[in-house]
Amino acid sequence: MTPLEGLDYAGVAVFAATGALAASRKQLDVIGFGFLAAVTGIGGGTFRDLILGDTPVFWVGKPAYLLVCVAVAAIVYFTAHLVESRYRLLIWLDAVGLSAFAVMGAAKGMALTGSPIVAIVTGMMTATFGGILRDLLSGEPSVLMRPEIYVSAALAGAAVFVAASIFGAPVLVGSALGVISAFAIRGGAIRYGWAFSPYKPRPGRPPEDVM
């Protein structure tokens, strides 16, 4: 298994765990755990492969990815009650997955297109899309709409990896730098509430009164 493959399985496993934790928060049954785990675990990479035209998507040829999601869902099903705050755990695991997928998505985008801009975008998309799907399907407020830094951490991790490849760094070094950058930024945002200043003037009025 190459470093990037290891990163990919790690990302799938932790995102699957966040999906299963969302299922536990919604008190779904065990199949609901597996479904949300799989959608969250493989959603970002599936979207990345569709965009890049690399179909059938990655897990069709390697069902081990699906089995990882199912196994993680089962583990969470039997252990989630031991966790004091499942949402806090979900958010931290999401940060690990975001960091792994930002690099993995950028690496695949770079390999298939050679374009740094596209690679940064596929990194960002791969990292954020699984969590967006999870929140949409489970009816949680989207992590995208929270004030702390989220998308930017994925952008930064992808950009660091792409810069490292351009400067000729070995894949292992570039991957490590990318993952660490993304996780440091997202972790700081979770722990210390790091945020860009939000847009201030005023929130939007409801749509009804404006035609």
Residues 56-75 that bind a second copy (CB under 8 A): 56-57, 59-61, 63, 66-67
Compute CA 87 distance to the chain's CA centroid, rounded to the nearest angstrom.
Answer: 16
Nearest Cα residue to 126 out of 12, 18, 13, 6: 12
Q: Which amino acid, 92?
A: W
Contact residue for a second copy among 2, 29, 111, 170 (CB under 8 A): 29
147 lines the binding site for a second copy (CB under 8 A): yes
Q: Does 151 sit near a second copy (CB under 8 A)?
A: yes
Residue with tokens 């997955």: 97
Do the Cβ atoms of 21 and 118 come closer than 8 Å? no
- Using alpha carbons, select from 60, 45, 54 the residue that is nearest to residue 103: 45
Q: How far from each other are the two terminal CA atoms of the chain, in whole angstroms?
A: 58
Interface of this chain with a second copy, residues 160 to 189, rule: CB under 8 A:
none
Residues in the chain: 211
Rounded least distance, CB 17 to a second copy, Å: 14
Q: Which is nearer to a second copy, 108 or 176 (CB)?
A: 108
Q: Is 33 in the site for a second copy (CB under 8 A)?
A: yes
CB of 170 to a second copy, least distance (A): 26
Nearer to a second copy, 46 or 175 (CB): 46
**Among 9-17, 79-87, 93-101, 162-170, the segment contacting a second copy (CB under 8 A):** 79-87
